[in-house]
Amino acid sequence: MSIIKTVSTQPFPDQKPGTSGLRKKVKMFQTPHYLENFVQSIFLAVDGLKGSTIVMGGDGRYFNREALQVIIKMAAANGIARVMVGKGGILSTPAASCVIRKYGLKGGIILSASHNPGGPDGDFGIKYNIENGGPSPEHVTDAIFKQSLNMDSYRIFEAEDLNLDKPGETQLGTMTVQVFDSIIEYVELMESLFDFRKMENLIRSGEFSLIFDGMNAVTGPYARAIFEDRLGAPEGTVINGDPLPDFGGGHPDPNLKYADQLVAMMNSQGGPDLGAASDGDGDRNMILGKNFFVTPSDSLAVIAANAHLIPGYSGIISGIARSMPTSMAADRVAESMGIDCYETPTGWKFFGNLLDAGRVTFCGEESFGTGSSHIREKDGLWAVLFWLNMLAEKKDSVEGIVREHWKQFGRNYYSRHDYEGVDSEAAQLVMEGIRKRLPAMGGESLGGQTVAMADEFSYTDPVDGAVSTGQGIRIIFQNGSRIVFRLSGTGTEGATIRIYLEKYESDPARHDIDTQDALAELIAAAGEVSQIHEITGRDAPSVIT
């Protein structure tokens, strides 16, 4: 006999969600009552959940299945009417957004720490997506955190674990549990946006090849279904395509450092024409050509400039949005098209209102995230398909498309320097030191350039008027170059200081300079202003992208 059990507990003071939910070490989530407290906080803080339908799933990382069983039983004990669960517990973040929007669900619980490492000693995460399919806005995450600080009990349905590997429906008390194949839903959405026939013809021509690196994360099965099964790419086109609890010992972050196997293949003699990778939960992407890396900032700009080639975007583009640290390449495209370009804080949730209001069609972040109005999350495979569709239409190479774009709009030399796992106190000292210098920076000479303005970015949402402050420090020079400093909220230990550097070059004859060489003066200026090497003891960044 199954019963609902009320379990006494005490609050944990550290359950404040960040830009993408709550992320901690696996061992913390395995602490008795820790997961349950946060889940109960969601069920109590989010209005209208009782009697509703929600979707659940995750990126397959360590503790994914165990956590899902707990959350399903807690949903049954908290009056949820129906839960849709990705087969095998697998559900990419874009697919979750797709399902929420397609079926008009109340929301969804996604288990992922995105691009962070997995395994018993790795990271775990959980977030709640709202009814538009996007991440919870700040007023929702604030309510969840406030609730977590007052937890004294949680409710859970006592029952045997469910079989999550077989599609179908079962009852858990009064709640229906539906295990479904989310790949089918996602592929149908992609087919409604892109010209699959042209992409298939390109692949089957024998004159084009691609490689997709699933990084042993969630997108492998989705990518196989699209590239190999639907578009006819040879078996083996998708590498590292099986989701593994520890991501095969790798770091599921699609950048030049962690996707080194893919990079080596693309830089080899006779390498593929298109290379791409996605991250742990499938919302990020990296695009590569033969010996050529497309920065995420450039990718957003190129996508917007070529949207007329794609069936799902052949109409009028309403606008573009980019996070503040993302390069201004998209701004130039928006200006040429006579549409607005919005500058928001980092975090996909800030794009939600703009998308819902119809103000923007495309969104992007420099952290390898690109997306559109088709869902309310960034979408890694969507971006790859957009590039593949462009290649089929333009009959050009990846490098050729980007260079033609630079010729028309100019090149925004751009790089991000990450200092990962920095002592939190030292990281705060770095930021506070820069902050103190801001009032006197106007007119100052740094790295041979004159500072036009320096401030700490704040954002007023043009739709609902919500204000977000403390969103990163900007130093903008008279020639349009920029240095941006931010503390990242996606790690689980120490702090990550991110330094973003940008310089615009209009002369095509100067578009072949090595990026770090082109930004050398700005890199030196950033070091001088921040004193990051002296304060942190770090000689160089952990990762440069």
User: Which H or E run contains 452?
Assistant: strand 449-456
Tokens of 386: 């957009």
CA distances to 113, 350, 430, 497, 498 from 471, in Å: 21, 12, 15, 13, 12
What are the start-end ranges of the E strands in 49-205?
Answer: 53-58, 82-90, 107-111, 123-129, 153-158, 168-172, 175-180
Q: What are the backbone angles phi and psi of residue 396, rounded to the nearest 5°?
A: -135, 175
Q: Are 105 and 81 in contact (CB under 8 A)?
A: no
Residues contacting residue 184 through CB under 8 Å, at least 6 positions apart: none
Q: Are 35 and 111 in contact (CB under 8 A)?
A: no
Q: Are strands 449-456 and 362-365 parallel, antiparallel or unpaired?
A: unpaired
Q: What are the backbone angles phi and psi of residue 535, rounded to the nearest 5°?
A: -75, -40
Residues contacting residue 457 through CB under 8 Å, at least 6 positions apart: 324, 345, 471, 472, 473, 474
- String of b and e for 520-537 (b: at least 16 CB within 10 Å)? ebbbebbeebbebeebbe
Tokens of 425: 């106190």
Q: Which of 20, 97, 114, 148 is catalytic?
A: 114
Q: Are 478 and 441 in contact (CB under 8 A)?
A: no
Amino acid (1-letter code) at residue 5: K
Q: Note if 114 is an active site residue.
A: yes
Active site residues: 114
